Copies of this chain bind each other. A is one copy, B any other.
């Protein structure tokens, strides 16, 4: 397969994966484009490469910066802003985990926590079932949370080394 075709396919696949996991398709595509680009690109070039409008490109780039996945770059003597992506896939994974944990997981954990002081009759099956589910979910969520925390601090090789070692 030719490089040009492969690039398009990669961008498409990355975009699809993103959209299935709650990340805007265009955002994932722009990220993919920058990820496989050796040099930083301008808004103009990104618009061109993905056939998207200026407004869309601008907002998407801003979002990606907010996610910590790309950065602006300024070239000496040029007005234009260039954008480039962190190429370290482990950093990317950590960054995404960090943001989603903060934006989505933590608010839910907060609600679950509030709910755990629900009042009711210990003899009521509805109450007991509710309590049990909450407790179990909290336990699981606590473990997920701890593991993510470790991941966020860890080096890739150490993390996978540790995790995979116990699984063979």
Contact = CB atoms under 8 A, between A and B. Distances in A.
A56 B75 CA distance: 54
A3 B133 contact: no
A150 interface: yes
Interface residues of A, number: 62
A33 to B, nearest CB: 11
A20 B21 CA distance: 8
Interface string A1-35: 11100110110010011011110000000000001
Copies of this chain: 2
A52 interface: no
A128 B16 CA distance: 24
Contact of A38 (B89, B115, B125): B125
The main secondary structure of chain A at its interface with chain B is helix
Interface string A127-148: 1111011101101100100110
A166 to B, nearest CB: 4
B13 A112 contact: yes
A126 interface: yes
Interface of A: 1-3, 6-7, 9-10, 13, 16-17, 19-22, 35-39, 87-90, 93, 103-105, 108, 111-112, 114-115, 117-120, 124-130, 132-134, 136-137, 139-140, 143, 146-147, 150, 156, 160, 162-167
Q: Which 3 A-B pairs have the closest CB atoms?
A: A38-B125, A6-B118, A162-B166
